[in-house]
Amino acid sequence: MSVLIVLRFLHFTSLMLVFGACMFRPLLLDQPGQKGRLRNLIDPLVCLLAALALISGVAWLFAVAFEMGGSLDMALVRRVLGETFFGKVWTLHLFACVAVLVCLRLPHAKLQVVARPLSALALATLAPVGHAAMFEGSAGTWLVINQLIHLLCVGAWLGGLMLLMFVLARPGDQDLRVVLGRFSGVGCVLVVGLLVTGLINTRALTGSFLPVPGASGFATVLAVKLALVLAMLGLAVWHRRQLARGPLDVQSFKRTVTLEWACGLGAVAAVALLGTLAPTPLG
């Protein structure tokens, strides 16, 4: 079980960072003051993250097969892929991960653009294999859609924060106030989006919008995740207010952006654990 939690964390994190980096690249790296400077540093990193997403995705498949059969049997892996809902979704998911890696690895600029919808597809195919699969009919469909939006918001924000940390470390001749203003505006929308969709998920799984720490292991981890997301929202709002005041304190922004990113990683770690726990209705 602990191996599966680690694999889930690595897979969620790497795939979200790839998606967010692809989405925020035009905003943060394609500006005149950054052309060619940070790309040489960030592009290889994003490729490595895409490779990690693929490797951890394959390992996740084997871990699920092992839990089902108690051994690493290729025949069992094939049965999981061909005969289970998880396997059928995961086949598409892994193909999307391979396509993302190929697009990022090849130097053609148009393939870099294609990587955006492909990484979104890879992230979206995680939505049906979570707790939303417990629900049937229209309720299940809407919950999968809600989870899809949640994953895209989280991924875009975490990947964007990663790029922003690099930009703040090596700003070049960009006007950081302008860059931060654009980024912060989009970021606040994303954090509100992930908070709202997260609360909807919580309501569907537990019967309450606010998890009660101590009510169950699931509720406790969920409460920790909610606290981390609220911290991210608070930092995002603080960034917006700081931009409207006086001189820009770049060092302060570096620290708080890093803290916000760390809160996001903590929330993803909570998600990795939640996926291995059974939801417990409250009340």
pLDDT at 14: 98
Examine residue 255 and state whether it is found in any structural domain, yes or no.
yes
Examine residue 279 and state whether it is found in any structural domain, yes or no.
no
Examine residue 84 and state whether it is found in any structural domain, yes or no.
yes
Number of domains in the chain: 1
pLDDT at 183: 86
> Cβ(152)–Cβ(24) under 8 Å?
no
Examine residue 282 and state whether it is found in any structural domain, yes or no.
no
3-state SS record for the chain: CHHHHHHHHHHHHHHHHHHHHHHHHHHHCCCCCCCCCCHHHHHHHHHHHHHHHHHHHHHHHHHHHHHHHCCCCHHHHHHHHHHCHHHHHHHHHHHHHHHHHHHHHCCCHHHHHHHHHHHHHHHHCCHHHCHHHHCCHHHHHHHHHHHHHHHHHHHHHHHHHHHHHHHHHCCCCCCHHHHHHHHHHHHHHHHHHHHHHHHHHHHHHHCCCCCCCCCCHHHHHHHHHHHHHHHHHHHHHHHHHHHCCCCCCHHHHHHHHHHHHHHHHHHHHHHHHHCCCCCCCCC
Going residue by residue through the chain, which has 283 residues, state the pLDDT in tens, using 9 for 90 and above. 588 999 999 999 999 999 999 999 888 876 655 556 777 788 899 999 999 999 999 999 999 888 887 777 888 899 989 989 999 999 999 999 999 999 998 877 677 789 999 999 999 999 998 877 777 788 888 999 999 999 999 999 999 999 999 888 887 667 788 788 888 888 888 888 988 998 898 888 888 877 777 668 888 998 899 899 899 888 888 888 888 776 778 888 889 999 999 999 999 999 999 988 888 665 5
Examine residue 225 and state whether it is found in any structural domain, yes or no.
yes
Examine residue 280 and state whether it is found in any structural domain, yes or no.
no
CA distances from 155 to 71, 105, 219 (A): 33, 20, 23
Examine residue 17 and state whether it is found in any structural domain, yes or no.
yes
pLDDT at 62: 93
Instruction: Read off the pTM.
Output: 0.92
The boundaries of the domain holding residue 166 are: 2-274
Examine residue 102 and state whether it is found in any structural domain, yes or no.
yes
